Amino acid sequence: MYKTIGIVTGGGDAPGLNAVIRAVVKTAAGEYGMRVIGIEDSFEGLLGETRTRDLRPEHVRGLLPRGGTILGTRNRGQFVVRTNEGQLVKPEDVYREAITNLEKLGIEGLVVLGGEGTLAIAAEFDRLGFPVIGVPKTIDNDLACTELTFGFVTALDIATEALDRLHTTAESHDRVMILEVMGRHTGWIALHSGIAGGADVILMPEIPFTMQAVAEKIRERDRCGSEFTIIVAAEGASEAGGELIYQDKGDPAHAPRLGGVGNYCRAELEQLTGKETRCVVLGHLQRGGRPNAFDRMLATNFGACAVRAFAKGERSVMVALQAADIVTVPISEAIANIKTVPPDGQLVGTARATGISFGSPDEASYHTSKGTEPCV
């Protein structure tokens, strides 16, 4: 059994990171007598003059409800270099330096809290001989092999509250209100919050939309006496045959950043329908602040199970939620492909059945073929 393990947080922050850190420290110390060393500023803290801190149970008091990560998360693009041609390269000398430093620190295994990008870095450490266990973190919920990632449900709460608040102002002014939410190339946040927040239209990457179909939904609502419309748009949504919209194209250290589809739709829909239309970009409010009760519980369970996995001799796995239990799955499987929303899945069907439009061109025929009354 390892005497000392490290813990590192990578990628964008998500509510529940500190709750995982707390659970890892408490389980490692309390159940196995292991020492835990926190790596600061993500994997960057393992290069040059290392930046680490001892984490004992007294250091993690009060961490459960705290947002962000006490260890920091930074990406200077040293572990994954983006070439001018857009290729991603993992320079072995950088990993070797980090592994040498881990060994100098007496760290025998690393718990890595991250999404797909961070876990791909973790997998490279493992390939080069250093044991890792992954913990699935992202508000986007786009990691494969786990039903949920921690942070997602808190983000949903925030998006749902935003939709509730937009309802009352939209209704008062007879306006169209668009809420742009995060999610990268998946529509999990948009779909779940759209259903929970009673949106009229959900735009998401998995179902390309047409502006005409969305405009028709707005007109249909007007005809039925609801002169306002609430639209939730995932940042990765795009028009059928159209392109993704980016707020910036990225640089060698950073991936391109999605954003802008909400404002694009705002201008187009205002022109098509003649109705006053406003857009709110929810942005990092979805990531900041306290995790909700569910994410505190999930993060704690993930953290404890990650330490137990190391204690059982597992490596190169990610803890995952499957059928209400925490299991372990090979990291390689978790990072092979992102988990997208099944466009013909049950939840999309439920959304449609309750009158939500996805702005897809075939939608009118969907309603007629199902015999749905227009004013639902």
Q: Which residues are catalytic?
A: 140
How many Å apart are CA 329 and CA 215, to the nearest integer? Answer: 44
Q: Is 163:197 a contact under the CB 8 Å cutoff? A: yes
Contact map string, positions 224 to 243, toward ligand F6P, x by CB under 6 A: -----------x--------
Size of the site for ligand F6P (CB under 6 A): 12
Do residues 237 and 215 touch, judged by C-beta distance below 8 A? no
Q: Which of 44, 140, 220, 239 is in the footprint of ligand F6P by CB under 6 A?
A: 140
Q: Report the residue from 7, 39, 182, 356 that binds ligand F6P according to the rule CB under 6 A.
A: 182
- Do 16 and 296 meet the contact criterion of CB atoms below 8 Å apart? yes
- Nearer to ligand F6P by Cβ, of 140 and 200: the residue is 140
Near ligand F6P by CB under 6 A: residue from 52, 78, 138, 277: 138
Considering only the stretches 66-74, 135-143, 238-246, 316-324, report the one whose residues sit in contact with ligand F6P under the rule CB under 6 A. 135-143
Q: How many angstroms separate the CA atoms of 54 and 59, rounded?
A: 8
Nearer to ligand F6P, 176 or 179 (CB): 179
Binds ligand F6P by CB under 6 A, chosen from 5, 7, 8, 12: 12
Q: By CB under 6 A, name the one of 22, 26, 137, 184 that touches ligand F6P.
A: 184
Whole-number Å distance between alpha carbons of 333 and 116: 11
Q: Toward ligand F6P, which CB reaches closer, 131 or 259?
A: 259
- State the binding string over 243-282 for ligand F6P (x if CB under 6 A, else -): --------------xx------------------------
Among 36, 39, 113, 139, binds ligand F6P (CB under 6 A): 139
How do beta strands 317-322 and 325-330 pair? antiparallel
How many Å apart are CA 195 and CA 197, to the nearest integer?
A: 6
* 318 Cβ contact partners less than 8 Å away, ≥ 6 residues apart: 119, 133, 134, 135, 136, 143, 145, 146, 328, 329, 330, 331, 334
DSSP category for residue 46: G
Residue of 287, 296, 308, 339 interacting with ligand F6P (CB under 6 A): 287
- DSSP-derived pairing of the beta strands 229-234 and 176-181: parallel
Residue nearest to ligand F6P (CB): 182
Tell me how far, at minimum, the Cβ of 358 lies from ligand F6P, in Å: 20
Query: Which of the 8 DSSP states describes residue 242?
Result: -
Residues that bind ligand F6P (CB under 6 A): 12, 115, 138-140, 182-184, 235, 257-258, 287
